[in-house]
């Protein structure tokens, strides 16, 4: 079998007693990195989120112990502080621990909080980056995040803060010549659109929302800040979703490829 990049040095196999924070990407298993695929195939124990798709879970070592730690709206299987300590406990059992997260561990994945606890307890760890939803989902929806004619900057924000609010930097987000990507914003979509208009963007500013991007269930709804909330409700979209606001959304009909088959 021909190996990819045969002369490129690798970091070797997973090491017992180490925690690996692995990004699973936005859903399509073919978007896993080579490092992620190797590490999950060698795991002794897997701690995974609800955003990890089944085709990706199918790539995990079939003999690995699996612990679900999903965080859905209003339903956290394991509180974050308890989860941090669980990773420490498992590593001290000399296991190869994989913390598998949708997207990228350090992009709204709470990876920083988990690594802080590992560091405080002297646990070796490695972070395996993944394709974050903004990059993967936008590409599969046919919406470039930047474009010389429309957007020279891109801003990622989360749709709700730690206290459940959506108290964002509205003046900073309501600017032209940039693309705003909102993670986990489905339930606050009406408020989000209204605040962007209230802080300076026109009601007819392009916006889109994508459900379960990069998977066979992907659905993209496009509209404006004035129309998108009603369109999303009519489409009965379900989480996970990604919201894209900016003039790059105008390119969707021309550049879409995935949903067209």
Considering 28, 58, 71, 119, which one is annotated as catalytic? 71
Considering 49, 95, 101, 252, which one is annotated as catalytic? 49
Cα dist from 237 to 48, 125, 209, 212, 231, whole Å: 24, 37, 9, 9, 9
CB count, 10 Å around CB of 241?
24
CB 27 within 8 A of CB 215: yes
The verdict on whether 104 is a catalytic residue reads: no
The verdict on whether 253 is a catalytic residue reads: no
| Rounded CA separation 185/255 (Å) | 24
DSSP class of residue 15 equals -
The tokens for 93 are: 């059992």
Select from 25, 225, 224 the least CA-distant residue to 136: 25
Containing 127, the helix (H) or strand (E) segment is strand 125-128
Select from 189, 208, 196 the least CA-distant residue to 170: 196
HSE at residue 22, side-chain half, CA atoms within 13 A, is: 32
Catalytic residues: 49, 71
């Amino acid at each position: 079998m021909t190996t990819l990049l045969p002369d490129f040095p690798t970091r070797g196999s997973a090491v017992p007693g180490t925690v690996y924070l692995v990004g699973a990407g936005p859903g399509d298993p073919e978007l896993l990195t080579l490092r992620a695929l190797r590490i999950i195939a060698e795991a002794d124990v897997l701690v995974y989120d609800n955003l990890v798709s089944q085709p990706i879970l199918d790539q995990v070592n079939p003999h690995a112990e699996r612990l679900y730690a999903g965080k859905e709206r209003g339903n956290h299987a394991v509180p974050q502080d308890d989860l941090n300590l669980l990773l420490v406990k498992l590593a001290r059992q000399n296991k190869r621990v994989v913390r598998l997260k949708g997207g990228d561990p350090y992009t709204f994945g709470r990876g920083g909080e988990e690594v802080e606890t590992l560091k405080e307890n002297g646990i070796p760890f490695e972070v395996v980056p993944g394709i974050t939803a903004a990059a993967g989902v936008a590409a599969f929806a046919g919406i470039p995040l930047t474009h010389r004619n429309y957007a020279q900057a891109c801003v990622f924000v989360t749709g709700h803060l730690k206290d459940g609010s959506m108290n964002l930097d509205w003046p900073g987000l309501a600017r032209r010549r940039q693309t705003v990507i909102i993670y986990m914003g489905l339930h606050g979509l009406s408020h989000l659109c209204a605040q962007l208009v209230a802080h300076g963007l026109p009601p007819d500013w392009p916006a889109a929302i994508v459900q379960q991007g990069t998977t066979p269930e992907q659905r993209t709804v496009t509209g404006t800040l004035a129309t998108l909330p009603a369109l999303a409700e009519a489409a009965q979209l379900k989480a996970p979703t990604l919201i894209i606001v900016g003039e790059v959304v105008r390119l969707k009909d021309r550049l879409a490829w995935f949903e067209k088959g």
